[in-house]
Amino acid sequence: MRIHSLPTQLVNQIAAGEVVERPSSVVKELVENCFDAGASHIFIEIEQGGARLIKIRDNGCGIYKEDLPLALSRHATSKISSLKDLEQVVSMGFRGEALPSISSVSRLTLISRISDADCAWKVIADGTEDNFDPQPDPHPQGTTIDVRDLFYNTPARRKFLKTEKTEFAHIETLIQRMALSRFDIGFTLLHNQKEILNLKPAETDAEQEQRIAGICGSAFIENSVKIDFAASGLSVTGWVGLPTFSRSQQDMQFFYVNGRLVRDKLVSHAIKQAYQDVLFHGRHSVFVLYLSLDPALVDVNAHPAKLEVRFREGRLVHDFLFSALHRSLADIRPGKNIIELPVQAHQVTSAGVKEVEESRELFSGDRVSQQSKPTSELKPIYNPRPPQQGSLPLQVEEVVNAYASLYPKPESVAQPIPSDPKPLGNAIAHLHNIFILAETVSGIILVDTHAAHERITYERLKQQYQNGSIPSQPLLLPIKIKVSTAEADLAEQEHEFFMSLGFELNRSGPETLVLRSIPVLLGNTDLETLIRDVLSDMTEYGMSRRIQDKSNEILSTVACHGAVRARRRLTVDEMNALLRDMEQTERIGQCNHGRPTWIALSTQELDKFFLRGQ
C-alpha cells in the first residue's frame, strides 16, 4: 500500500492507547491539569467506576475562550514553549496529548472561565480537532471536564475494563496518592452520588498528619518517624515507618519527586538498602517521602504516562536517599526519637533467629561490682589472627572464635552511668531468664536480652570494622574472572574502591580480571559471584553495597555468637548495664535479623487493661 496520513481522530486514539489505560488514567491526567491551574479544591464525580461518567471540577485559573480549541488539540500546551523548558519541567502535565486523546475515546465536554470573564465557555469534542463552537455557560471561575461513555467507540478497549468496583478502587487509590502529594489542595470524591472522600487543605503539621492518617491509617503515623534531610542540592522530607511496623506487600510506599508520584527502581533499591539491616525477612517497609531537586536534574518525560523518571545524577540521588534514611533509622533509640516501639505479633515467631549453641558469655561469673558496669567496657576490638603470606583466607568459624576470645571478665572499675531520667528505666527482674522487666517513669519495659545485646555487639563490630583499615589477605592462588569489556573497564576505573574494601582486583586483559587479595572476613564466600554481582550493581545503580552487606552478614553471625544467651541468668547490675547501653546504641529497636528487641507499656495502658478508674 502507498504511504498515507492517518485521520486525526485515529491518531488521537492511538495516542490514547498510551495515555488512557483505564478510567483512573483519565482521572490522573485531568487532576494533574487542576494542579497546574492553581486550584485550591478539586471535585471528582464518578459513575459506574468511571465507565459512564468522570467529571472533574476545579477553581483554578481557567482557560481563555480563544484557547479552548487549542486545549483539545494535539501538542498544544501552555506549560512549555522551548527546549529549555522541556529540560527543566516544573508542571505536572506538558505533553499536550491528554485532552485530545481522551476526547477521541469518549464524549468530552469542556467548560472553563477565567477570573475577569463575563461568563464561561463550553465546547464539545470528539477527537477530530475541528468543528469547535464555543457556547456561553454560567459556570463559575475554574474548569469542569465531563467525560462520558469511555471507550464507547472502541469496544475492544472497553472489554478490557474490570468490574465497576475494581475500576473505582483504582480511582480511589489514585486520588489518595495524589492527595498525599498536595497538602495545600482539598479533594472531594463521589461515586454514584455517594461521598467517598472529603479532604480539606492541610497546612499545619498536625493537619498533614491527619490527612496521612486518614489515607494510610492512624497506625502509620503512630509508628513512623518524620525526617527532613538536605545535602548537595537535594532535599528529602516525609515519614518513614519503624522497622517493626512493616507489611507483607509494597502497598504503603509513596515516593514523590518534585510533587510527582513516581515508581523508580533506583529509588526502591536505595530505600531497600537503608532498611536491610533492621527489617524482618520477607517484610516491606512503609513510607511517604518527598524528594525535591533541581528540575533540570530529573527527566520526567521518560514515560508516556509520566509514571517513571530518569535522574541525570543517579548515583548521587541513590547515595543521598540511602544516607538520609540509613541515618534516620539509626537515630531511632530510647529517649531520642520515640519511646514506645510497637510489636507486631506475626514478627515474633519461631521463624526468627534460631538460637545457636552456648558460647562464651559476655558476663563471666555470678556477680559483678555493686555499681552497674556498662557493657562498653567489654567491647571487642577487631584483631583477628594476622594473615600469613600465601595462606588461605580465614574461615568464618575462625573469625567467630577470634572474636569470642575477646570477651574478658569485667573489671572492677565502673564507668559513669548516664544521669536520670533513664528512658529504659531500672531493671526489676529477669523473667524466665530471657526477658528483662524494667520500671520507667511512665510505665514498664520488656527487653529480649539476647536480641538487644546482639544488636549492641553488632553495631560495635561494624563501627570497629569500618573505622580501622580492613584486614586483607593475599590468596594462595589468584582467581581469574571472565567478564565483559564494559565490566572490565568499570573494574579498572573503580580500582581504588575495591582496594578500600580489601580487594586487590587488577585487569589482565580486555575481558579478564585477576583477584589477588580479599578481606579476611570474606574467606568463606563465593568470590567470583560476589565480584560479578558488585559490577552488575555498579552498572545498574552506580554503586554497590554487596561487599559491605556480606561483611555485615558475617559480623552479624559473630555478634549472635557473642551475645548473651537465652536462659543465662543476669544480675540486676548486669541488666541495668545492658539497658544503659541500649539507650546509646543505634538501631536498637531491632536485632540483627529484624526482630523487635523491646516493648513499652505505659501506666495509662495498664490502667485501661485492669479497668482502673472505670
Flag whether the pTM goes above 0.85.
no
Contact between residue 544 and residue 537 where contact means Cβ atoms under 8 Å apart: yes
- The mean-pLDDT minimum among 5-9, 83-87, 312-316, 326-330 falls in 83-87
DSSP 264-319: -HHHHHHHHHHHTTTSPTT-B--EEEEEE--GGGEE--SSTTS---EETTHHHHHH
The kind and range of the H/E element at 195 are strand 194-199
Q: How many alpha carbons lie under 13 Å from residue 456 in its C-beta half-sphere?
A: 26
pLDDT tens figures, 356-376: 232 223 333 333 333 333 433
What span, in angstroms and rounded, lies between the C-alpha atoms of 279 and 285?
8
Residues 495-508 have a mean pLDDT of 83
581: Cβ contacts below 8 Å, ≥ 6 apart: 374, 375, 376, 456
Predicted pLDDT of residue 304: 58
- For the chain, give the mean pLDDT: 79
Predicted pLDDT of residue 450: 87
- Under DSSP, is residue 148 helix (H, G, I), strand (E, B) or coil? strand
Predicted pLDDT of residue 556: 67
Predicted pLDDT of residue 385: 32
457: Cβ contacts below 8 Å, ≥ 6 apart: 362, 379, 380, 558, 559, 562, 563
Which residue segments constitute the domains of the chain, with CATH numbers given?
Answer: 8-199 (3.30.565.10), 205-330 (3.30.230.10), 345-466+559-609 (3.30.1540.20), 472-551 (3.30.1370.100)
Judge if the upstream peptide bond of residue 334 is cis by omega within 30 degrees of 0: no
pLDDT tens figures, 386-445: 333 333 334 444 444 444 443 333 333 334 444 446 889 999 999 988 899 999 988 999
For 80, 267, 545, 579, the CA distances from 560, given in Å and listed in that order, are 58, 31, 22, 18
Contact between residue 528 and residue 434 where contact means Cβ atoms under 8 Å apart: no
Q: How many CB atoms lie within 10 A of CB 388?
A: 9
The kind and range of the H/E element at 461 are helix 449-467
Q: For residues 360 and 553, which has the higher predicted lDDT (pLDDT)?
A: 553
Sign for the pseudo-dihedral over CA of 544, 550, 551, 557: positive
